[in-house]
Amino acid sequence: MPVDRPPASLKTRGRTLDHAASVYDMLAPIMTLGLEGRYRRRAIELLQLGGHERVLDIGCGTGILTRQLAMVLDGSRCDQAVGIDAAAKMIAVARRKATDLANLRFETALAEKLPYADDSFDAVVSTFFYHHIDRDLKALSLAELRRVLKPGGRAVIVDVDTPSSLFGKLCAWSGYWLFRQEEIRENIQGQLRDALTCAGFSQVQKVSHHAGHISIFYLEN
């Protein structure tokens, strides 16, 4: 008799969140001080998506942003908003919520080894993923991001950055101490910015900074 196996997550040094998949949507607003909706709206605005474009969400978690991206695109086409995450349980939650949109798709995949052809997306977005991977994986996954992004394509990254205020320092270092997460310390020390600068994009712009420790970066390939 066939046995139902739990979905397999992929092996990575990145900090995957299988264990938090069922409660992630309740925890995320606490972790982002209720600002995650604003970050998502800003990311969508910055990408300025045309109806027929194809967009990738890297480290999509439960897929809230990916779903919002699908809703601004032309709903009649397949596969237009694609979310990937290494945690199979996150993807399972995202898929359960995605049954009503034909142009939305989720896949268990690694940011450092994207299963897509060169130049296959018009835009890429990633929110709160880059503090889950170390310096080498940041470089690898940004190289992959550039590989799948068309020449001239746009990308937006939202993540923990070097704090600019006492409040920002408190938030960022609390995250580090709470989770004992070395990758958060690396972002605090500016390693995300450094990785973005070295990745070879034609444009890297920090467009805004929030709560003293979260930056939104706009990139062009």
Ligand X SMILES: C[S@@+](CC[C@H](N)C(=O)[O-])C[C@H]1O[C@@H](n2cnc3c(N)ncnc32)[C@H](O)[C@@H]1O
Residues 170-199 interacting with ligand X (rule: CB under 6 A): none
Q: Which is nearer to ligand X, 61 or 153 (CB)?
A: 61
Polymer length in residues for the chain: 221
- CB 124 to ligand X: min, Å: 12
**Helices within 52-181 (DSSP H only):** 64-72, 88-96, 135-148, 166-179
Burial of 31 (0-12, 13-18, 19+ CB in 10 A): middle
- The single residue among 43, 72, 105, 129 that binds ligand X, judged by CB under 6 A, is 129
CB of 92 to ligand X, least distance (A): 12
Q: CA triplet 145, 151, 156: central angle to 5 degrees?
A: 45
Reduced to 3 states, what is the DSSP secondary structure of residue 187?
helix
Nearest 5°: the CA angle 119, 106, 122 is 25
**Cα gap 20→92, rounded to integer Å:** 12
Q: Say whether residue 110 binds ligand X (CB under 6 A).
A: yes
Q: Is 59 in the site for ligand X (CB under 6 A)?
A: yes
Give the shortest CB-76-to-ligand X separation in angstroms.
Answer: 26
Shortest approach of ligand X to residue 102 CB, angstroms?
Answer: 22
108 binds ligand X (CB under 6 A): no
Please give the Cα distance from 140 to 179 (Å, whole number): 24
Q: Between 17 and 196, name the residue whose CB sits nearer to ligand X.
A: 17
If binding is defined by CB under 6 A, does position 87 make contact with ligand X?
yes
Q: Which is nearer to ligand X, 130 or 166 (CB)?
A: 130
Choose, by CB under 6 A, the member of 132, 146, 210, 213 that binds ligand X: 132
167: closest CA among 207, 206, 210? 210
List 47, 70, 72, 85, residue binding ligand X (CB under 6 A):
85
* CA-closest candidate to residue 143, choices 58, 61, 31: 58
Q: Compute how many other C-beta atoms are within 10 angstroms of the C-beta atom of residue 90.
A: 28
Selection from 25, 15, 80, 20 nearest residue 50 by Cα: 80
Question: What is the per-residue binding string for ligand X in 4-33, x denoting contact by CB under 6 A?
Answer: --------x-xxxx----------x-----
Query: How many residues lie near ligand X (CB under 6 A)?
Result: 21
Find the part of the chain contacting ligand X (CB under 6 A) among 72-80, 85-93, 165-173, 182-190: 85-93
Binding site residues, ligand X, CB under 6 A? 12, 14-17, 28, 59-61, 85-87, 90, 110-112, 127-129, 132-133
